[in-house]
């Protein structure tokens, strides 16, 4: 059952953000967008934050970060597809390497960024970029860059119980997913690649979500794929993932 829906605007109340990825964080609901559909031929790589506690049907972004100038130039429909968030506690405990300072990541070096970093995925090159986003809006610092293992990345999902950052690709990559973990150098590296589930056709799956650990039953928890093509009249398909701790 749909509990609520929203029309999303940019911070000024205008535009039609082409939302491609979404994540719920302590900062709010954060969306990765690749263009303004009101000007759909132009790439506009923005991350937007929304307060979804409102009962209004139209929401203005409470903060936005324009990453266009910091990322490779891409076609309007090949931009940001994915966004995830990883807490500072995990990153510092595992020695995450800050490419901006060329030292171990120190959250204190980025005042106002909140309690974690945002990881966005670019469809055009399959690369993952980590950012400290100043929560007052606008300001950002790129912390790290990592290949997803795919030519294009369509979604990113952090699995806290396992410490994995999952990267998902669509039918371009035969529906495969990969896990990335922090290696001994503190950098994200691909640790496993998985084929799409047996029995699932090579759909244009652009979304991938993993249920929380507390949903585990008999050693498994739900996962959901979202099909951008709505093949056979279905936008969502579910499966299971082995629970780890």
For residue 34, the model assigns a pLDDT of 97
Q: Check pLDDT > 50 for residue 223.
A: yes
Q: Check pLDDT > 60 for residue 1.
A: no
pTM: 0.95
Q: Rounded mean pLDDT of 180-197?
A: 98
* Distance between CA atoms of residues 211 and 49, nearest Å: 22
Measured in residues, the chain has a length of: 245
Percentage, residues of the chain above pLDDT 90: 89
Which residue would you say has higher pLDDT here, 193 or 3?
Answer: 193
Convert the pLDDT of each residue in 72-101 to its tens digit. Answer: 999 999 999 999 999 999 999 999 999 999
Of 5-14, 107-116, 181-190, least confident by mean pLDDT is 5-14
Q: Check pLDDT > 80 for residue 2.
A: no
């Amino acid at each position: 059952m749909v509990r609520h829906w929203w029309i999303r605007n940019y911070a000024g109340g205008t535009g039609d953000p082409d939302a491609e990825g979404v994540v719920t964080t302590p900062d709010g609901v954060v969306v990765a967008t690749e263009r303004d559909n009101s000007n759909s031929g132009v790439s506009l790589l923005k991350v937007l934050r929304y307060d979804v506690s409102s009962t209004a049907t139209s929401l203005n972004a409470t903060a936005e970060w324009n990453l266009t100038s910091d990322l490779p130039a891409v076609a309007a429909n090949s931009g940001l597809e994915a966004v995830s968030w990883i807490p500072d506690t995990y990153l510092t405990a595992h020695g995450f390497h800050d490419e901006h300072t060329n030292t171990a990541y120190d959250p204190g070096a980025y005042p106002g960024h909140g309690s974690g970093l945002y990881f966005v995925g670019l469809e055009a090159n399959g690369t993952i970029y980590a950012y400290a986003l100043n929560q007052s809006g606008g300001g950002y610092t790129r912390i790290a860059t990592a290949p997803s293992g795919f030519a294009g990345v369509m979604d990113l999902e952090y699995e806290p119980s396992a410490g994995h950052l999952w990267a998902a690709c669509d039918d371009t990559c035969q529906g495969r997913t990969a896990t990335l973990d922090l290696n001994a150098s503190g950098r994200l590296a691909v640790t496993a690649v998985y084929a799409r589930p047996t029995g699932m056709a090579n759909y244009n799956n652009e979304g991938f979500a993993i249920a929380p650990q507390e949903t585990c039953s008999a050693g498994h928890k739900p996962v959901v794929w979202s099909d951008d093509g709505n093949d056979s009249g279905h936008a969502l398909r579910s499966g299971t993932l082995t629970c780890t701790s």
